[in-house]
Chains A and B, each alone.
Chain A
Amino acid sequence: MTTQGIGNGAKRAKEPVLVVIQLSGGLDFMNTLIPYTSGVIYDARPTVSVPAEQTLPIDDRLAWHPAAKALKDLYDAGNVAVVQGIGYENSSRSHFRAMDIWHTCEPLRIATEGWLAKTVREIDPHGENPLTAVSFGRGLPRALAAPGVTATSVSNLDQFGLMTKVEQAQERAHDLEIFKRMYTPGIGTGIVMDYLSQTGRDVLKGADMLATVPGEYASTVEYAANPIAQSLRDVARVHTAGLGARVFYTQHGGYDYHSHEPLMHPRLLKELTEAISDFLADLRAHDAADEVTILAFTEFGRRIRDNGSGTDHGSGGGAYIIGDRVAGGLYAEYPSIDPKDWLYGEDLRHTIDFRGIYGTVLEQWLGVDPAAIVGGTFEQIRPYRSTLLAS
């Protein structure tokens, strides 16, 4: 793997890296970047709204939720592009369907190929590096699933590998050889068995590469103990090991606050934004930040009126592009909160299609043609001051 790696001292040219953070459940955009000077919001959402004087204004119209202080600091430093009003026509209110749509870019039919899996196919067409895409957490998201595409899912970076209970090194080596032969793709054994065989072989290869990671990483940044902070720490560990990983996937769940939003939302927002801030600080300390873009998204926004305790599923959410080469600021339009513009009389109208934002990151950051991946051409934004792509 020396051709791929910058580990072991062999420095190579930096390649752009994308870190996706999936915020599961439906983050309340209106309660993250708050139209704090609008009476409408305070009338419609008396329960979940934060008093205007506690918010963190960025101008005379919008303010960050106080729990997003860490993100506000990054925003003030010019590292955060906020995509306001992201969504798509006829936004689904089903978590699962909505998440599927975000993962596959297919609002009108059920698809099984994920947009990032197709991206991996472009970056590593022959599946040479099982670590081109690495997902942290349990199970591979559909965004990274497609036939023939390899992505490594890591639930525990510190104990990764097969037959680790076989203590004798010689026996284990023999067993791994048998394992490899049992996981030889056969003819006519079916797609599930083919998938299983390929996965088994990829694990063998990926495990050899990842085995070195925990020993090589050292950092002064102390991440919090919560799952998103630990996931981003794992991203930092693998990224700084220089194994050629180009796409990372992490998830942060719990945003489906139909009830107790005033309790849940700030807790999650604080965990998330502090984790991102620590992650960037860690990368900077390793001279490994300027090749990284973070894209944080959620499957939908929430209803404009609150329900007395939380908010129900809605549309018109927000996404966040974060990194050292980002031209910070507000992108697309904040959806109108004027009641006469409410969709179905209760929802925000989206102002930019999410496939254009995927396209932005694919084309402008990773240098991959987005049309086939997102299924067409969609309006992009210009969120980068500079990129690593050859001009």
Chain B
Amino acid sequence: MASDQIALMAHLMRRVGVGATRDELEALAARPYEDVVEDLLHPERFPDEDDDALDRYYPTSLSPDIPTPWAGRWLYHLVTSRGPLRHKMALFWHHVFATAWFKSEHGPSIPAQIETFRQHGLGDLRRLLLELSRDPAMSYWLDNCENHAGSINENYGRELLELFSMGIGNYTETDIKEAARAFTGWTFEQPIPLYPYGGYPTKFVFHPDDHDDGEKTFLSRTGRFDGGDIIEIIVEQEATARFISRHLYNYFVADEPQVPAWSVTPPQDPEAMATLMRAYRDSHADVRSVMRALLNSDFFKVARFRRVKSPAELVGGAVKLSGALDFPDPSVIGMASATAVMGQTLMDPPTVEGWHTGKEWIDGGTLTERVNFAVEQVLDPGRPGVRAIARRLAEDGNPLSPEAFVDRCLDLAGPLAVGAATRTALLEHAAAEGELWFEGEAARSKGEARVARLLTLIVAAPEYQFC
């Protein structure tokens, strides 16, 4: 198998999910790249495990008021699904349409919103924004349930334009107020209280008598617009094509500056942006089409290790590498707690702006958490992923020079490209114990321990922080 094919497939799988095992990569690399992409763009071809089975081990209904079990289940799917893009797109939209548990009610309204992102995250942007505008968790989070005819609450109208579609600088304060008027009367049904019976879902409801049906002028167009009309107008804007394309580039290709800087700092790759915006226009805002253009493009294929992993990617990737997710296993919950201490409490972002990404994931505290978590995953030589790497090394022939040992481990744990400082340090570590042998019981057990030890140092390396 050509190693650059493996490296490309590893890159693709890190971006559409959290990575893949070497066996999976070899199977994928045997197929044409664009066929693999097409399958990934249609996750419905790979049904997930039945959630009922998960519920038997992690009954989310027992703790409807904390996000951890739901977030753990989400991470479990990211690690194990053969169609991971539905879960990754949900994560992407959760970054963009950030809605937080700390201001939510009505039982599992946030998980319901994430489920909406799973269902519509690769579809028509109009439908997605419409579902978002009708989503009870969003309605409560940005107070559209308090947005009344004659007494508007402009919170949702503002963020819909600033953070969810067009970006700041492309509309006026009047546009915000007019958009808010159009969404008056969009609210949700009052559900059964959470306690003592647990969460009950609520659903969207439209109150015509609380809707401002008057004439509005929005982005230079005038009519008796309602929310759906506002979304139609938004989706047609060049600013929306640009803003959504840049979000996709930032999330799937390479780190861009933080979102508030986008109105003044140009994109790093204008040609790539042009490609994505063309796909947006040609497909009339079909997200799957934009993603197809992105994943098949040359700028994507060469953008390896150009993003700092988000905590969800770091945690999911390390668990995938170790093969530690033996279902049923309490680490499902542990994964969610781990991303939280790294600064990403899934389903509970700090603000409606979501998380600052790229290098802002990293500071002294979070780097410590990231390194320690990854190290812990591969510390045990008995972990299936560690075993699998040791087995392949043993098949390479005995003995292995320290140099071959380091390079093969970097290859099998990624392939991970490292700089001179890291490679020298790892080589020195490996050389101290000489050649690597697997012949015989004692040597094999020592060899496996050495593999685990080297893997802990590899996942502690600065290069491992990128994907």
Contacts and interface: CB of A to CB of B under 8 A. Distances in A.
Do A and B belong to a common assembly?
A: yes
Interface of A: 24-25, 93-97, 100, 109-110, 130, 135, 138-140, 145, 151-156, 160-166, 171, 174-175, 178-179, 181-184, 186, 189, 191-193, 195-197, 199-200, 202-203, 206-207, 253-254, 256, 258-259, 307-310, 312
Nearest to A195: B359
Contacts of B257: 110
Contacts of B461: 182
B269 interface: no
Contact of B425 (A182, A199, A206, A258): A182
A166 B366 contact: no
B298 interface: no
A154 B367 contact: no
Given A178-B425, A199-B363, 19 more contacts: A95-B351, A96-B259, A130-B364, A138-B341, A139-B361, A140-B363, A153-B363, A153-B364, A163-B375, A163-B456, A175-B460, A183-B462, A189-B419, A196-B362, A196-B367, A203-B368, A207-B368, A310-B146, A312-B154
Contacts of A156: 341, 365
The 5 A-B residue pairs whose C-beta atoms are closest, nearest first, are A181-B425, A153-B365, A140-B363, A153-B363, A138-B343
A100 B360 CA distance: 14
B146 A153 contact: no
Interface string B328-364: 0000000000000111000000111100101111111
Nearest to B462: A196
Contacts, number: 169
Contact of A258 (B143, B264, B364, B421): B143
A261 to B, nearest CB: 11
Contact of A186 (B361, B365, B421): B421
A179 B368 contact: no
Q: Which of B145, B259, B457 has the most A CB atoms < 10 Å from its CB?
A: B457
A155 B367 contact: no
A200 B419 contact: no
A191 B462 CA distance: 13
Contacts of A154: 364-365
A192 B255 contact: yes
Contacts of B342: 138
A200 to B, nearest CB: 6
B1 interface: no
A197 B261 CA distance: 25
Nearest to A192: B359
A109 B264 CA distance: 8
Contacts of A181: 421, 424-425, 428
Contact of B153 (A24, A191, A258): A258
Interface of B: 102, 142-143, 145-146, 148, 151, 153-155, 158, 162, 168, 255, 257, 259-261, 263-265, 308, 341-343, 350-353, 356, 358-369, 371-372, 375-376, 379, 419-422, 424-426, 428-429, 453, 456-457, 460-462, 465
B343 A139 contact: yes
A259 B457 contact: no
Q: Which of B308, B356, B379, B460 has the most A CB atoms < 10 Å from its CB?
A: B460
Contacts of A195: 359, 362
A151 B361 CA distance: 14
A110 B260 contact: yes
A139 B199 CA distance: 32
A202 B372 CA distance: 16
A208 to B, nearest CB: 12
B363 A95 contact: no
A253 B350 contact: yes
Contacts of A309: 143, 146, 153
Contact of A166 (B255, B350, B356, B379): B379
B372 A162 contact: yes
Nearest to A154: B365
Given A139-B360, A258-B155, A259-B143, A178 B457 contact: yes
B212 to A, nearest CB: 15
Contact of B341 (A97, A155, A196): A155
22 contacts: A25-B351, A94-B168, A138-B366, A140-B363, A151-B364, A152-B364, A152-B365, A153-B363, A162-B371, A179-B457, A179-B460, A192-B255, A193-B419, A196-B465, A200-B462, A202-B364, A254-B102, A258-B142, A258-B146, A259-B145, A307-B153, A308-B146
Contacts of A162: 368, 371-372, 460
Contacts of B365: 138-140, 152-156, 160
Contact of B264 (A96, A110, A184): A110
Nearest to B262: A110
Q: Which of B102, B364, B419, B424 has the most A CB atoms < 10 Å from its CB?
A: B364
A135 B358 CA distance: 19
B308 A186 contact: no
B372 A178 contact: no
Nearest to B176: A93
Nearest to A201: B364
Given A97-B168, A196-B367, A165 B372 contact: yes
Nearest to B420: A186
Nearest to B453: A171
A183 B379 CA distance: 21
A163 B373 CA distance: 9
Contacts of A182: 421-422, 425-426, 457, 460-462
Contacts of A191: 359
